[in-house]
């Protein structure tokens, strides 16, 4: 071979006899075959991989790992939390169908349901899932599914999942629950009878603010449809990000245990502060705790800009779930495009702050927050 050819073909095939402790990164767009018969074997289900958009060992490992943690039958990885939600919705609903969704969702999900999903000819009704009668009243003959979050974003209402499953079974509906905030460390909605669970793995599953990924887990029959949606929509996750997410999951329990304890301390410490009008933090989510997010509403006399300018080492970011404590401004980021009437109804105003509590020493966290609140 010439030098030019050698530079292309210098890599050697790795023997399958090497027992790597960690799954290798299959950073490849496609897989090679020795002959046409071997290629044809893929289409007969005898060979697992052809093209990484269709499937890859790393993305398959991630889907299976989260499914196991959630007590689900199967799972599929996607390129982001939003693509996971879209794939889940379209695996159940089609043109002419109807969805009932809770009204206190993450702003991006609200927009997806209110704008994008409607463009598929699927109607959506938003109601308060804190009110059983509102849920029941919204169900129509063409309703296909109920959609909610196990802990809502950003005001942290803990969903009554057993009640939701009960209503769904009575009406033969599918349930989809976003379990991003709780994670399977605190809650496993599939175990309680939920059909599909979605995650923005960008948050706690990855845990280090360095990937963008989504997961759908649940019933095997629906997940097979969701997998096809991921493939057809080009919503597949890259092998490297899948590998990073799997690595992050290995410390999920350790991180959530610490972050949840820290968050409880922060919530309790701020309840009697004269400069705080409200502390949003759920109760009785799980025996293991109530999650790692605390939302607060500053008192009317406080200046929100001074607060955000005085946070010192605490980062201001539009996301959550990393090991570092960070704060976000829902009105200006995650819920910016929520209709004004919906913002007012939910209580998302200019003084609401969402705190993603990290793994730092809890006293350091509260000290820095109190400096900002005082400012």
Catalytically annotated residues = 53, 106, 178, 203
The tokens for 329 are 């401004």
Q: How confident is residue 15, by pLDDT bands cut at 50, 70 and 90?
A: low
Q: Is the pLDDT of residue 245 over 70?
A: yes
In the CATH scheme, what is the code of domain 47-249? 3.40.640.10
Mean pLDDT over the full length of the chain: 96
Confidence of residue 12 (pLDDT cuts 50, 70, 90): low
Please determine, for residue 17, whether its predicted confidence score (pLDDT) is greater than 90. Answer: no
Going by pLDDT thresholds of 50, 70 and 90, the confidence category of residue 32 is very high
Q: What is the pLDDT of residue 20?
A: 87
* The pairing of beta strand 174-178 with beta strand 196-200: parallel
d(CA 185, CA 255): 10
pLDDT tens column, 187-216: 999 999 999 999 999 999 999 999 999 999
Question: Residue 74: its pLDDT value, please?
Answer: 98
The pLDDT assigned to 138 comes to: 98
| pLDDT per residue as tens digits for the range 353-370 | 999 999 999 999 999 999
Measured distance CA(95)–CA(111) in Å, rounded = 18
Tell me, what's the pLDDT at 269? 98
Q: Does the pLDDT value for residue 25 go beyond 80?
A: yes
Polymer length of the chain:
375
String of b and e for 296-328 (b: at least 16 CB within 10 Å)? bbbeeebebeebbebbeebbeeebbbbbebbbb
Residue 114's pLDDT band, with cuts at 50, 70 and 90, is: very high
Provide the pLDDT for residue 301: 97
**pLDDT above 90 as % of the chain:** 93
Domain 252-374's class?
Answer: alpha beta
Alpha-carbon distance 59 to 28, whole Å? 12
Rounded mean pLDDT, 239-264 = 97
The whole-number average pLDDT for the span 294-301 is: 98
Instruction: Give the pair of three-digit tokens for residue 13.
Output: 């095939």
Average pLDDT for 301-312: 98
Segment 271-298 shows an average pLDDT of 97
* Measured distance CA(158)–CA(289) in Å, rounded: 12
Whether the pTM exceeds 0.85: the reply is yes
pLDDT at 7 over 70: no
Q: Which of 154, 157, 373 is nearest to 277 (CA)?
A: 373
pLDDT of residue 18: 73
State the maximum Cα–Cα separation within the chain, in Å, rounded to a whole number. 77
Residue 280, both tokens: 């949003």
CA angle 195/335/317 to nearest 5° reads 100
Q: Is the per-residue pLDDT at 16 higher than 70? A: no
pLDDT of amino acid 333? 93
Q: What is the mean pLDDT of residues 78-90?
A: 98
With a CB cutoff of 8 Å and minimum separation 6, the contacts of 97 are 122, 123, 142, 143, 144
| Beta strands per DSSP E along the chain | 74-78, 98-102, 123-127, 143-149, 174-178, 196-200, 214-218, 276-280, 293-298, 315-316, 326-328, 352-356
pLDDT tens digits, one per residue of 138-193 = 999 999 999 999 999 999 999 999 999 999 999 999 999 999 999 999 999 999 99
Q: What is the DSSP string of 168-201?
A: HHHTT-EEEEE-TTTHHHH--TTTTT-SEEEEET
**Given pLDDT bands bounded at 50, 70 and 90, which one contains residue 310?**
very high
Residue 39: predicted pLDDT: 96
Lowest-pLDDT range of 70-84, 153-167, 202-216, 329-343: 329-343
User: What residue ranges do the domains of the chain occupy?
Assistant: 47-249, 252-374
What's the confidence (pLDDT) of residue 1? 80
């Amino acid at each position: 071979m010439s030098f030019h050819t050698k530079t292309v073909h210098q890599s050697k095939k790795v023997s399958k006899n090497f027992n790597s402790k960690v799954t290798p990164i299959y950073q490849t767009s496609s897989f090679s075959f020795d002959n046409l018969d071997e290629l044809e074997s893929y289409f007969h289900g005898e060979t697992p991989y052809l093209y990484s958009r269709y499937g890859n060992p790393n993305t398959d490992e991630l889907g299976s790992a989260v499914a196991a943690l959630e007590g689900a039958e199967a799972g599929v990885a996607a390129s982001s939390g939003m693509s996971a939600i879209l794939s889940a919705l379209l695996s159940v609903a089609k043109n002419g169908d109807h969805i009932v969704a809770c009204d206190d969702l993450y702003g991006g999900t609200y927009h997806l349901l209110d704008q994008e999903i409607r463009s598929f000819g699927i109607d959506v009704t938003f109601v308060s899932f804190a009110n059983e009668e509102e849920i029941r009243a919204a169900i129509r003959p063409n309703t296909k599914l109920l959609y909610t979050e196990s802990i809502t974003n950003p005001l942290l209402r803990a969903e009554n999942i057993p009640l939701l499953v009960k209503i769904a079974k009575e009406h033969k509906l599918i349930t989809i629950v976003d379990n991003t905030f709780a994670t399977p460390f605190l809650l496993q909605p599939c175990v309680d009878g939920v059909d599909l669970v979605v995650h923005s793995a960008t948050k706690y599953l990855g845990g280090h603010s360095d990937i963008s990924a989504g997961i759908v887990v649940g019933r095997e029959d629906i997940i097979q449809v969701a997998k096809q949606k991921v493939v057809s929509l080009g919503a597949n996750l890259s092998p490297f990000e899948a590998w990073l997410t799997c690595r992050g999951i290995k410390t999920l329990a350790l991180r959530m245990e610490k972050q949840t304890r820290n968050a409880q301390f922060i919530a309790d410490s701020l309840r009697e502060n004269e400069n705080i009008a409200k502390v949003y933090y759920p109760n009785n989510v799980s025996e293991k705790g109530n999650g790692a997010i605390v939302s607060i509403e500053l008192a009317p006399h406080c200046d929100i800009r001074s607060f955000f300018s005085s946070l010192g080492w605490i980062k201001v970011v539009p996301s959550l779930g990393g090991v570092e404590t960070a704060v976000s401004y829902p009105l200006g980021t995650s819920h910016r495009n929520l209709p004004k009437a919906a913002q007012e109804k939910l209580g998302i105003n200019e003084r609401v702050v969402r705190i993603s509590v990290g793994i730092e020493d809890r006293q350091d966290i509260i000290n820095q927050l109190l400096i900002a609140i005082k400012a």
